[in-house]
Chains A and B, each alone.
Chain A
Amino acid sequence: MNAVPQARPAAALELTGVSKSFGGAAALREVGFSLLPGEIHALAGINGAGKSTLVKIMSGALSPDGGHLLIAGHAHSALTPRRARALGVSIVHQHRTLVPQLTVAENLFLGRLPTRAGRVDWRAARAQAARALADLGVEVPATAIAADLGPAEQTLVEIAREIQVGGRVLILDEPTATLGGADAARVHRIVRTLSARGIAVVYISHHLDEVLDLADRVTVLRDGRHVLTASTAETDLPSLVRAMTGDRLAETRPRTARTPGRAVLELRDLSAGPRLAGLSLTVRAGEVVAVLGCAGDGQTQLFPLLSGLRRPSGGDVLVGGGRVPPGSVTAALAAGLRCVTGERLTYGLVPGLTVDENLDLTGRGLRRPWSVRWRRMHREAAGARTRFGVTTIRPDPPVATLSGGNQQKVLLARWLDRDVTACLLEEPTNGVDVAAKADIHRLIDGLAARGAAVLLASADVDEVLRLADRVLVVRSGRTVADLPADRVSRDDLVSLSVGGTAS
């Protein structure tokens, strides 16, 4: 197994037969991946295909259940993030990790500031930082405070930092997901510079046109399996899309014609600074309306605004014709809005409490009883669990011990197992397995069938096509399209959200 074929040039990084599963759900099955020095190798796949698991294994954050990992021709079994970094494998995450209060120079040399006679040599630090940045063509002053930089500049500084510590393999996890065109171009430029210097880059992106333009080769994953590795010169967008979505009928939704009723949920000119600009929409009873955007775009503002966590900078939310007072969780709940977060462990569940008590929380918040009646809680929870297909091994375990899919079902059951007039669902299948995803889609169909007005905030094109009657596409916070879902194709939606021209 360790014999590396001699004919090829030694790969900077190579994975063979790598598998990984989480609590029985296989995230990766026998995946192979090779990365040549100086190569830009894109990793593509729809949400949940296993991209992030794969790069976590490459960077030492996860250890594989099976398979081999070779860095510069040497096998490594017990990799940690620290060891991987020492071996020259670094990862730059989508969420930026600079220390915000420190200067660019300090961030570049974090923990390794140049010293003279035991004191930090600030002048040398600034000079070295400026040189390192100029060397990579990063136009950021070394004395700037990291928090004052724009998102693109932060990413560039992070890349420079990783190169500075001797990175030979750089993994970029959706570096342009939240960036506009000009900023994305700056990232592309530095990636090409690195490649020209022999540094290998693993580039994760949802934007296929970007992948085809930038990368030398592309590997597509689907459902944890390796589907395709091809030179970008020999492939095109349709074949990549086919590889990503596969032969399975892309979850066509049961076309029972919904007949929407009266208008229930209205957003009028809803704004949140530059991140959401004047979004207007109406959701009628029994209708699913989706707001689609790339990861991190304007649709992510809907949850904090509608749930009352944050006050909009302008515009109104109306439920059943009545204006919901902004910035108040209690008012949003009283108006009948049910907002289900896409970040279940941050804003949704109380991990340490049991499944049944988590299911009971919303009712307790709404009815404000004095006492907790456990027996009745367990009885009611049993019904909700059955209706939402929550399966557990022990009778009532802490919700933290459940799989992602089951946790998500608990969250949905908590909010939607009663009469719902209007709800916002944010990424309702975020980080759940395929089976649970299908279950959840059916649950949402049922919700609309019972007459709820469903607003969906999502970055997942397939999910939007599967669920929605109407789609609003937002790009950089602005609404760029408002279309009936049955008159729009997958490629159109992808193009609209990433800013290309409809093909």
Chain B
Amino acid sequence: MTTAAHPRRRTIGAALPPGLVRHGGVLGVLLLIAVFTTSRSDVFLTAPNLLNVSRQIAVVAVLAAGLTLLMTAGGIDFSLGAIAAVTHGVTAQLIVAGVADWAAVALALTLGAAIGLVNGTVVTVFRVTPFVATLASSTILTGVALLVIGGQSISIGEHLGGLGFGELLGVPVLIVIAAAVCLAVGLAMRWSAFGRNAFAIGGNENAARLSGIPVVRTKLLLYTLGGLLAGLGGVMLVARLGAASPGTGGLHLELTVVAAVVIGGTALHGGSGTLVGTILGVLLLGVVANSLNLLQINPYFQDVALGTVLMVAAVANHLRSRRH
């Protein structure tokens, strides 16, 4: 009875990100790999290399931010990589067709959001399991992505150069965008009713619905947001590569995104997740890939490493959640 009246220690707000302690494991592994690679390669800790790594992971981070929020609400979207593939092709084709850069980008984002909304509708209105629904749309979109670019590489020349290679106060624009997205999603997960409702829905959908929380609307919004961010990721891809080509985005990007979120400790069954964890997961995967490159390890080990890290993280998460 006395404890209820205790002054509450405030650990929220501008203090340490709440996830930093919780993610000690991922952080430790990340530092370990970084130290190891530094000791074996002179290139790793150089500014050009780190900038290169961060440009590569910027896209993953944008997609992973949307997926973190969605998975916290108990959803999943396997089509994010395919959405990015479609939008990166569409952006290139629009630009080649003479559409203004900004209009092409806006159309690509709208398209991404619209695809997300369709996913959400299939999941909420027709009650299809998210796994199946988004696997189906992923398959469709993979084909569509190839159709859009006719299976060929489409160069956009100097277009979107400011986005792909520009800098803002010395920081690459791609990273500024990724950071802004992560910050916005992170804040939404803590301070917005929308974000907190995602936690409630993922934690107990029945209870959330009975409390009057708009479950269907929130889910639609979550899938739409996921699609929008995937569309943004597609634009960032084409801007960075200067061309749309077959095999960009798609399944491999998707798996990396899902892996990053799971490594970050977001529960697959919903109800818990942090963006700090997801960012660490994205960083870890980026650093692992870069290390394998720098240490000149057979590139076929990339996937082996990705899968291994994912499995170890999943087991660790399971053990951690069982302890509670």
Contact = CB atoms under 8 A, between A and B. Distances in A.
Interface of A: 307, 309, 329-330, 333, 339, 341, 345-353, 357, 361-362, 364-366, 368-372, 374, 378, 382, 385-386, 389-396, 414
Number of chain B interface residues as a range: 20 to 34
Q: List the 8 shortest-distance A-B pairs measured between CB atoms, nearest first.
A: A365-B212, A350-B203, A365-B211, A361-B211, A350-B204, A352-B271, A352-B203, A365-B213
29 contacts: A307-B210, A329-B209, A347-B206, A350-B200, A350-B271, A353-B199, A353-B200, A353-B271, A357-B196, A357-B200, A361-B200, A361-B208, A361-B213, A362-B211, A362-B212, A364-B197, A365-B213, A368-B212, A368-B214, A369-B193, A372-B190, A372-B191, A372-B196, A374-B12, A374-B191, A385-B4, A386-B4, A395-B9, A396-B8
Contacts of A392: 3-4
Contacts of A394: 3
Contacts of A365: 208, 211-213
Contact of B211 (A364, A382, A389): A364
Contact of B6 (A349, A353, A395): A395
Nearest to B270: A352
Contacts of B4: 382, 385-386, 390-392
B100 interface: no
Contact of B5 (A345, A361, A369, A382): A382
B207 A349 contact: yes
A348 B204 CA distance: 8
B142 interface: no
A361 B204 CA distance: 12
B16 interface: no
Interface in B177-220: 190-197, 199-200, 203-204, 206-214
A351 B203 contact: yes
Contact of A364 (B6, B9, B213): B213
A393 B6 CA distance: 10
A353 B193 contact: no
B168 interface: no
B302 to A, nearest CB: 35
B272 interface: yes
A364 B199 contact: no
A10 to B, nearest CB: 40
A414 to B, nearest CB: 8
A324 to B, nearest CB: 14
A329 to B, nearest CB: 6
Contacts of A414: 211
Contact of A352 (B6, B190, B272): B272
A357 B200 CA distance: 9
A391 B208 CA distance: 24
The winner among B193, B203, B210 for most chain A CB atoms within 10 A is: B210
A392 to B, nearest CB: 6
A391 B190 CA distance: 25
Contacts of A364: 193, 196-197, 211-213
B196 A309 contact: no
Given A352-B203, A361-B200, A371-B193, A347 B210 contact: yes
The winner among B6, B190, B212 for most chain A CB atoms within 10 A is: B212
A395 B3 contact: yes
Nearest to B199: A353
A138 B134 CA distance: 47
Given A330-B212, A333-B212, A346-B206, A370 B196 contact: no
Given A362-B212, A368-B214, A370-B192, A350 B5 contact: no
A393 B3 contact: yes
Contact of B210 (A341, A369, A386, A389): A341
